[in-house]
Structure 1
Amino acid sequence: MDDIRPKLPAKPERFMDILRQHIRKQGLSYRTEQTYTHWIKRFIHFHRLKHPADMGAAEVEAFLTYLAVQGLCATNTQRVALNAIVYLYKQFLDREIPDLDFKLAKRQRRLPVVYSREEVFAVLSHLQGLFRLQIELMYGSGLRSAELLSLRIKDVDFSSNNIFVRGGKGNKDRTTLLPKGIAEDIQRQVKHVSLLHQQDLLAGYGSVYLPDALDRKYPNAAKQLAWQYLFPANSISQCPRSGIY
């Protein structure tokens, strides 16, 4: 359930809750919220829980230099941390940050690792069942792991051999191809989920998390088969926001 935003108090008082509320009002994705709050927490703990309003450029420079020198972080990691802190001061605290002078992380140039077809098939030969199907779908459709686990049954269009990715990287939607070689296996997975869903409904369960407050707009959608995950969890779980199983 890592893709579900935790519920905030109606009138948040804690610093991080107020920050999260501000991020959501700006319409940023949950991945961005997670990243920003992670680095802002690290920044605050680095300075021994000193309030960001009582810190300035010197503290920001010290933290970013630490990441490059002692933390040995990559360039992109340092850049992400900088973006989070800039958001904290410019957007959240409404304070300008002067030009910063800090040690830049070294840019490491590495060649990307790309498996050959033979290597991919060698990996698949050691997999079976559901795990093999998931890897085949990721390889054939170019899905990220988070996108794979977020797929709903309604996102697979067998008539056009398309998969609709909702809220992917950058909180953007896109389409990708459904590999024809595993289309029948995906259909069998849908039938399996359908039977499992019917059993859950009979047991008093069967509700699924709906994004963007759709549960208020469509009260019955959470129990419809179309909204069920294509690869559900192995056991009944509790929604961290609603508390419903």
Structure 2
Amino acid sequence: MLAGAWRGFALRTRQTYAGWMARYGEWVAGAEEAMDTERGGAWLAELVDKGKVSFATQKQALNALAFFFRDVCRKEEVLFDVRLRRTERRTPVVMSAKEVVALLDKLELRHRLMAEMQYGGRAAAQELVSLRVQDVDRARGQVVVRGGKGDKDRVTVTLPKRVKESLDAIWGDLRAVHGKDRAEGVPGVALPTALARKMSKAGERWEWFWIFPADHLSRDPETGIERRHHMHAKVYGEAITRAARKAGVEKRVTSHVLRHCFATHLLEGGTDIRTLQELLGHADVKTTEI
């Protein structure tokens, strides 16, 4: 998937597209047939009609297929005569304010801070784990979410005093981990592609360090370099699910539920839907209304 790298796609996007292309490759008879856009359209139509997948998944497959023909096969015009099928959205799970407090009380400090920032700061899980030191203004109590939905930066409202105190509590530990990595000659953290080309050593600087670093070093899947990555969103999500069980919350709780709870509690408190749309970073108010 070198073409994906040239386009500057994130690793997760390239992995997702590669997965769809593997499924398409298994469906067609061979390489020559795979490059036929009509066969691509037929595969997509079958996925839509018989695949029992959500609208979002259908759209993801469409984007991957369009990328394959346009950027890999170098087709000038890529059109598929396929209408995606709208699927019913599930009613979101919402916890009461009392349940949110009970869940928070069952989390260890780092995960609790993450949950508080997600609830009070409206960040999605992947945005949260990707935060860097420079994204947090402790004095003003603000966090900048870089390249969220639509690749737009989003500034949160001032964080509650409790969240600022939790941030202060972990700051010394962050400094210690960063200092240890520097002393042991660990390569700097991964950087945005364009910056990595210009300033390859910037990843060693404090301001680029993760707010929520992983406990152990791991090998960078793109470069093969062993370095410290941020905590995986799955690790945080599993912590939330465990805490919900311990708190006796009898609902299917995921990390995304916290973000939705924030929105619901604001609406219940009288916040205007358009204001909420801006706070959550949604491009379409219909997304906020769900």
TM range (shorter): 0.7 to 0.9
SS at structure 2 position matched to 1:87? helix
- Of 200-209 and 174-183, more deviation after overlay is shown by 200-209
User: Against the structure 1 CA distance between its residues 168 and 34, is the aligned structure 2 distance closer, same or farther, given a 3 Å change threshold?
Assistant: farther
Match of 2:96 among 109, 116, 119: 116
Match of 2:69 among 76, 83, 89: 89
Q: Determine the structure 1 residue equivalent to 2:122.
A: 142
Task: Determine the C-alpha separation between the residues in 2 that align with 1:118 and 1:63.
Answer: 48
Q: How far is 1:220 from its partner?
A: 4.3
Residue identity in the other structure for 2:98: E
Number of equivalences: 224
Q: How far is 1:186 from its partner?
A: 0.5
User: Against the structure 1 CA distance between its residues 126 and 109, is the aligned structure 2 distance closer, same or farther, given a 3 Å change threshold?
Assistant: same
Q: Determine the structure 2 residue equivalent to 1:222.
A: 203
Note the 1:13-162 alignment, pairs <5 A. 16-17=1-2, 19-24=3-8, 32-51=13-32, 54-57=35-38, 59-90=39-70, 92=72, 93-97=74-78, 100-101=81-82, 104-162=84-142
SS at structure 2 position matched to 1:73? coil
SS at structure 2 position matched to 1:60? helix
Task: Determine the C-alpha separation between the residues in 2 that align with 1:128 and 1:66.
Answer: 46
Higher relative contact order (CA 8 A, sep 6+): 2
Identity among equivalent positions (%) equals: 34
Task: Determine the C-alpha separation between the residues in 2 that align with 1:218 and 1:91.
Answer: 28
Task: Determine the C-alpha separation between the residues in 2 that align with 1:213 and 1:99.
Answer: 33
Q: Deviations over 1:27-66 (max 9, x none)?
A: x555544443332332222225534664231x22332233
Task: Determine the C-alpha separation between the residues in 1 that align with 2:13 and 2:218.
Answer: 25
Q: How far is 1:84 from its partner?
A: 2.5
SS at structure 2 position matched to 1:96? coil
- TM-score by length of structure 2 reads 0.67
Q: Does 1:179 align with 2:160?
A: yes
Q: Does 1:205 align with 2:189?
A: no
Task: Determine the C-alpha separation between the residues in 2 that align with 1:187 and 1:96.
Answer: 54
SS at structure 2 position matched to 1:163? strand
Task: Determine the C-alpha separation between the residues in 1 that align with 2:61 and 2:131.
Answer: 30
Q: Determine the structure 1 residue equivalent to 2:225.
A: 243
User: Against the structure 1 CA distance between its residues 175 and 49, is the aligned structure 2 distance closer, same or farther, given a 3 Å change threshold?
Assistant: farther
Q: How far is 1:182 from its partner?
A: 1.3
Q: How far is 1:101 from its partner?
A: 4.8
- Of 182-191 and 62-71, more deviation after overlay is shown by 62-71
Q: Determine the structure 1 residue equivalent to 2:146.
A: 166
Task: Determine the C-alpha separation between the residues in 2 that align with 1:121 and 1:173.
Answer: 29
Bigger helix share: 2
Q: How far is 1:244 from its partner?
A: 4.7
Q: How far is 1:192 from its partner?
A: 0.9
Q: How far is 1:193 from its partner?
A: 0.7
SS at structure 1 position matched to 2:219? coil
